[in-house]
Structure 1
């Protein structure tokens, strides 16, 4: 994925990103990446058990190689907190989707799933209403905790670089995806596009097996994901490097 350059950030926003990443680094879920940054193995992000690991599609295919080659590749692998990996993926896809993104949008994208591991999906009923409740609470919690973090930045260093309260409020509104679908919600739509692109790029291959859903539901999920994206987001998705299985499901989802 060739990345463009995002608009340079003022010092206060750079500091905000560092604080957000420090919090992401506390995620107990770990993901293993190869030398190119691709997922090798991760803790299941779809369950409450932070300590249980599942092999990704990449791990399955890698396991078919020679043992010596596997050992060499393992030496090049690194383990990182999942939420830090996810947040950095959000920034990389934002570079492609909107290289002119404002500082506020850059911070909101980086904090989209802020401290998400503290409220696992499995703590809510495995029903559609349960999912919608969990999703709404996740957005509300992330926005609140990011607001508190960025306000503390100013309280701890009143004379230093700090974000204006109006920008903190806007970051929180973007995380909550307020106004999504309205004509004046361009930045919110960009954030939604980026979140969908990260799902397709980073989570989709594991979702089918981890969530134990059948093909029809996966196709339905893809159609919903596709419908959430703008034309620019869809164009990027079509150019994405997907697994053979993912390409097959995308073709079915877009065939009707």
Structure 2
């Protein structure tokens, strides 16, 4: 097993510990393991020539996320933003430990941490690519369930915020996703 395969395997081992499960195509998965596999798949569809750093950052995007539940922070905007920052730091730090165990050099590890922390979106091409992939995975796999739990106006607001984070290339890919009739209508309303 080479360094890259070892790093992916270690990330998957951590995410396989997620006590929360989801059924996909009749198979039960730990939630974050399935999410990480979807991130890798979508990244390679969107950017087949993605660097190893970007592939690892995508795979580790939500590593051990369940250990920091949203409801353990105040349920206001300040609490939400603090939760997001703490998650990014935890994801980056844990991934750095994994990459050291896989014998990666410091320069490589720093780049992966930079990407996981989503630094310089709109200015750094790989950071932007990671953000696009995050948005595409959300829209394709998680948007329907999210939309069912919220009023249309909130959903439309989230779509608009998501759209602002994406590149033109990301927009084009999003418009080609297989969405349900309701989801498609909400996207059209958000973009009108």
Question: Does TM-score exceed 0.5, indicating one fold?
Answer: yes
Structure 2 residue 135 is the aligned partner of structure 1 residue 144: no
Equivalence for 1:242: 179
1:208 CA drift (Å) = 2.7
Structure 2 residue 27 is the aligned partner of structure 1 residue 13: no
Residue 141 (structure 2) aligned to one of 190, 199, 202: 202
Contact residue 27 and residue 117 of structure 1 kept, 8 A: yes
Structure 2 vs 1, CA of residues 125 and 208 (structure 1 numbering), >3 Å: closer, same or farther?
Answer: farther
Any idea what the Cα deviations from partners look like across 1:74-111, whole Å, max 9, x if unmatched?
Answer: xxx11011111000100111112111100111111000
Equivalence for 1:84: 33
Any idea what the Cα deviations from partners look like across 1:143-197, whole Å, max 9, x if unmatched?
Answer: 01111122233xxxxxxxx211110111111000112222xx0000000000000
Structure 2 residue 109 is the aligned partner of structure 1 residue 168: yes
Residue 162 (structure 2) aligned to one of 219, 225, 248: 225
Structure 2 residue 179 is the aligned partner of structure 1 residue 252: no
The TM-score with structure 2 as length reference comes to 0.96
Match of 1:79, SS? Answer: strand
How far apart in 1 are the matches of 2:161 and 2:104?
Answer: 35
Gaps of 5+ in 2: none
Any idea what the Cα deviations from partners look like across 1:13-55, whole Å, max 9, x if unmatched?
Answer: 1111111011110011101111xxxxxxxxxxxxxxxxxxxxx
How far apart in 2 are the matches of 1:116 and 1:227?
Answer: 24
Equivalence for 2:15: 24
1:209 CA drift (Å) = 3.4
How far apart in 1 are the matches of 2:183 and 2:74?
Answer: 28
Which structure has the highest helix share of the two? 2
Contact residue 16 and residue 150 of structure 1 kept, 8 A: yes
Any idea what the Cα deviations from partners look like across 1:223-245, whole Å, max 9, x if unmatched?
Answer: 01011110111111000001111
The TM-score with structure 1 as length reference comes to 0.73
Aligned residue pairs, count: 192
Structure 2 residue 157 is the aligned partner of structure 1 residue 216: no
Match of 1:245, SS? Answer: helix
After the TM superposition, which residues 120-131 of structure 1 pair with which residues of structure 2 at under 5 Å, given as runs? 120-131=69-80
After the TM superposition, which residues 104-119 of structure 1 pair with which residues of structure 2 at under 5 Å, given as runs? 104-119=53-68
